[in-house]
A = this chain, B = another copy of it.
Amino acid sequence: MYNVFFSHILEKVTLNEQEKQKIITYFIAKKLRKKEFLLKEGEICRYLSFVEKGLLKSYNVDPKGIEHVNMFALEGWWSSDIYSFFTGEKAIFYIDAIQDSEILMITLSDFEKMTLEIPIMDRYFRILFQNSLVTKEHRLLSSVTYSAKEKYSNLFQSNPELIQRVPQNLIASYLGITPETLSRVKKEITKQR
Protein backbone atom coordinates (compact mmCIF):
# COMPACT_ATOMS: atom_id res chain seq x y z
CA MET A 1 0.00 0.00 0.00
CA TYR A 2 2.81 2.42 0.83
CA ASN A 3 5.16 1.26 -1.92
CA VAL A 4 4.78 4.09 -4.36
CA PHE A 5 4.53 6.51 -1.47
CA PHE A 6 7.88 5.77 0.15
CA SER A 7 9.74 5.19 -3.06
CA HIS A 8 8.63 8.65 -4.08
CA ILE A 9 9.67 10.27 -0.81
CA LEU A 10 12.99 8.42 -0.69
CA GLU A 11 13.90 9.90 -4.05
CA LYS A 12 14.16 13.27 -2.32
CA VAL A 13 15.13 12.64 1.31
CA THR A 14 16.28 9.73 3.48
CA LEU A 15 14.13 8.21 6.22
CA ASN A 16 14.86 5.47 8.75
CA GLU A 17 12.42 2.69 9.54
CA GLN A 18 11.17 4.38 12.68
CA GLU A 19 10.36 7.59 10.82
CA LYS A 20 8.55 5.63 8.13
CA GLN A 21 6.38 3.89 10.71
CA LYS A 22 5.61 7.20 12.37
CA ILE A 23 4.66 8.82 9.07
CA ILE A 24 2.28 6.00 8.21
CA THR A 25 0.26 6.68 11.34
CA TYR A 26 -0.59 10.16 10.08
CA PHE A 27 -2.12 9.00 6.82
CA ILE A 28 -5.53 7.61 6.00
CA ALA A 29 -5.98 5.24 3.09
CA LYS A 30 -9.01 5.61 0.84
CA LYS A 31 -10.33 4.14 -2.38
CA LEU A 32 -12.06 6.29 -4.93
CA ARG A 33 -14.28 4.96 -7.70
CA LYS A 34 -14.14 6.52 -11.14
CA LYS A 35 -16.08 9.84 -11.15
CA GLU A 36 -16.17 9.95 -7.36
CA PHE A 37 -15.36 13.35 -5.86
CA LEU A 38 -12.60 14.03 -3.39
CA LEU A 39 -13.37 17.74 -3.18
CA LYS A 40 -15.98 20.18 -4.48
CA GLU A 41 -15.68 23.89 -5.04
CA GLY A 42 -16.78 25.89 -2.02
CA GLU A 43 -15.91 23.18 0.48
CA ILE A 44 -12.89 23.44 2.74
CA CYS A 45 -10.16 21.14 1.46
CA ARG A 46 -9.41 18.97 4.48
CA TYR A 47 -6.78 16.70 2.97
CA LEU A 48 -3.53 16.65 1.13
CA SER A 49 -3.67 13.43 -0.88
CA PHE A 50 -1.06 11.19 -2.42
CA VAL A 51 -2.05 8.99 -5.36
CA GLU A 52 -0.83 5.45 -4.73
CA LYS A 53 -2.77 4.05 -7.69
CA GLY A 54 -5.08 5.51 -10.31
CA LEU A 55 -5.57 8.97 -11.73
CA LEU A 56 -7.22 12.12 -10.40
CA LYS A 57 -7.92 15.50 -11.91
CA SER A 58 -8.45 18.85 -10.25
CA TYR A 59 -10.40 21.46 -12.14
CA ASN A 60 -12.24 24.71 -11.80
CA VAL A 61 -15.56 25.75 -13.32
CA ASP A 62 -15.63 29.33 -14.55
CA PRO A 63 -18.65 31.71 -14.47
CA LYS A 64 -19.69 30.51 -17.94
CA GLY A 65 -19.77 26.91 -16.72
CA ILE A 66 -16.67 25.90 -18.62
CA GLU A 67 -14.33 23.45 -16.89
CA HIS A 68 -10.61 24.15 -16.74
CA VAL A 69 -8.36 21.29 -15.70
CA ASN A 70 -5.78 22.55 -13.23
CA MET A 71 -3.74 19.37 -13.04
CA PHE A 72 -3.81 15.64 -13.32
CA ALA A 73 -2.39 13.40 -10.59
CA LEU A 74 -1.02 10.06 -11.67
CA GLU A 75 0.55 7.50 -9.33
CA GLY A 76 3.25 9.21 -7.29
CA TRP A 77 1.67 12.66 -7.46
CA TRP A 78 0.01 14.72 -4.79
CA SER A 79 -3.36 16.36 -5.21
CA SER A 80 -5.17 19.00 -3.20
CA ASP A 81 -6.48 22.52 -3.34
CA ILE A 82 -3.40 23.68 -1.49
CA TYR A 83 -4.68 27.20 -1.00
CA SER A 84 -7.77 25.90 0.73
CA PHE A 85 -5.85 23.19 2.56
CA PHE A 86 -3.31 25.53 4.12
CA THR A 87 -5.54 28.55 4.75
CA GLY A 88 -8.87 26.90 5.59
CA GLU A 89 -10.59 29.11 3.01
CA LYS A 90 -13.11 27.76 0.51
CA ALA A 91 -11.75 25.62 -2.30
CA ILE A 92 -11.87 26.88 -5.86
CA PHE A 93 -11.18 23.44 -7.35
CA TYR A 94 -13.08 20.23 -7.76
CA ILE A 95 -11.09 17.02 -7.50
CA ASP A 96 -12.40 13.70 -8.80
CA ALA A 97 -11.16 10.36 -10.05
CA ILE A 98 -10.69 9.72 -13.76
CA GLN A 99 -9.98 6.05 -12.98
CA ASP A 100 -10.55 3.96 -9.86
CA SER A 101 -7.86 5.12 -7.45
CA GLU A 102 -6.20 4.46 -4.13
CA ILE A 103 -5.03 7.46 -2.19
CA LEU A 104 -3.31 8.34 1.07
CA MET A 105 -4.64 11.42 2.83
CA ILE A 106 -3.39 13.63 5.64
CA THR A 107 -5.20 16.45 7.45
CA LEU A 108 -3.64 19.86 8.08
CA SER A 109 -3.24 19.32 11.82
CA ASP A 110 -1.53 15.99 11.23
CA PHE A 111 0.60 17.60 8.55
CA GLU A 112 1.71 20.19 11.09
CA LYS A 113 2.40 17.54 13.71
CA MET A 114 4.32 15.43 11.24
CA THR A 115 6.55 18.23 9.98
CA LEU A 116 7.31 19.42 13.52
CA GLU A 117 8.10 15.91 14.66
CA ILE A 118 10.06 14.94 11.54
CA PRO A 119 11.60 18.15 10.17
CA ILE A 120 12.99 16.33 7.19
CA MET A 121 9.43 16.19 5.90
CA ASP A 122 9.53 19.96 5.64
CA ARG A 123 12.54 19.40 3.44
CA TYR A 124 10.67 16.83 1.38
CA PHE A 125 7.76 19.17 0.82
CA ARG A 126 10.09 22.09 0.18
CA ILE A 127 11.62 20.09 -2.68
CA LEU A 128 8.22 18.88 -3.84
CA PHE A 129 6.71 22.36 -3.98
CA GLN A 130 9.87 23.72 -5.51
CA ASN A 131 9.61 21.21 -8.36
CA SER A 132 5.89 21.83 -8.79
CA LEU A 133 6.61 25.52 -8.95
CA VAL A 134 9.06 24.97 -11.79
CA THR A 135 6.51 22.88 -13.65
CA LYS A 136 3.78 25.50 -13.24
CA GLU A 137 6.19 28.23 -14.29
CA HIS A 138 6.97 26.33 -17.49
CA ARG A 139 3.30 25.68 -18.15
CA LEU A 140 2.43 29.32 -17.68
CA LEU A 141 5.21 30.32 -20.05
CA SER A 142 4.05 27.73 -22.54
CA SER A 143 0.48 28.96 -22.36
CA VAL A 144 1.40 32.49 -23.44
CA THR A 145 4.15 31.55 -25.86
CA TYR A 146 2.91 28.70 -27.97
CA SER A 147 0.07 28.02 -30.42
CA ALA A 148 -2.50 25.30 -29.76
CA LYS A 149 -0.52 22.95 -31.99
CA GLU A 150 2.76 23.60 -30.22
CA LYS A 151 1.15 23.20 -26.80
CA TYR A 152 -0.17 19.79 -27.76
CA SER A 153 3.13 18.72 -29.29
CA ASN A 154 4.98 19.81 -26.18
CA LEU A 155 2.66 17.84 -23.93
CA PHE A 156 2.95 14.86 -26.20
CA GLN A 157 6.72 14.96 -25.82
CA SER A 158 6.88 15.69 -22.13
CA ASN A 159 4.03 13.53 -20.89
CA PRO A 160 2.87 10.89 -23.37
CA GLU A 161 1.41 8.74 -20.59
CA LEU A 162 -1.15 11.42 -19.82
CA ILE A 163 -2.30 11.51 -23.42
CA GLN A 164 -2.79 7.75 -23.40
CA ARG A 165 -4.75 7.62 -20.17
CA VAL A 166 -6.83 10.81 -20.29
CA PRO A 167 -9.84 11.48 -22.60
CA GLN A 168 -9.11 14.02 -25.28
CA ASN A 169 -11.57 16.62 -24.07
CA LEU A 170 -9.78 16.74 -20.72
CA ILE A 171 -6.42 17.12 -22.42
CA ALA A 172 -7.89 20.03 -24.34
CA SER A 173 -9.14 21.61 -21.14
CA TYR A 174 -5.74 21.14 -19.53
CA LEU A 175 -4.07 22.87 -22.47
CA GLY A 176 -6.58 25.72 -22.37
CA ILE A 177 -8.05 25.02 -25.81
CA THR A 178 -11.41 23.62 -26.96
CA PRO A 179 -11.91 19.95 -27.84
CA GLU A 180 -12.70 21.00 -31.41
CA THR A 181 -9.42 22.82 -31.74
CA LEU A 182 -7.51 19.88 -30.30
CA SER A 183 -9.19 17.55 -32.79
CA ARG A 184 -8.15 19.77 -35.68
CA VAL A 185 -4.66 20.16 -34.30
CA LYS A 186 -4.17 16.41 -34.09
CA LYS A 187 -5.37 16.03 -37.65
CA GLU A 188 -2.89 18.68 -38.77
CA ILE A 189 -0.04 16.94 -36.97
CA THR A 190 -0.72 13.48 -38.39
CA LYS A 191 -1.09 15.01 -41.86
CA GLN A 192 2.46 16.38 -41.60
CA ARG A 193 3.99 12.91 -41.27
Chain A positions near chain B (C-beta within 8 angstroms)? 60, 62, 66, 68, 70, 82-83, 86, 92, 115, 119-120, 122-123, 125-126, 129-130, 132-134, 136-141, 143-145, 176
Contacts and interface: CB of A to CB of B under 8 A. Distances in A.
A82 B119 CA distance: 22
The 3 closest A-B pairs by CB, nearest first: A144-B176, A129-B129, A126-B126
What is the interface of chain A mostly: helix, strand, loop, or mixed?
A: helix
A125 B130 contact: yes
Contacts of A120: 119, 122
A133 B123 contact: no
A188 to B, nearest CB: 19
Contacts of A129: 126, 129-130, 132-133
Contacts of A126: 115, 122-123, 125-126, 129
Nearest to A131: B86
A83 B70 CA distance: 21
A141 B173 CA distance: 11
Contacts of A140: 70, 136, 139-140, 143
A123 B115 contact: yes
A132 B115 CA distance: 20
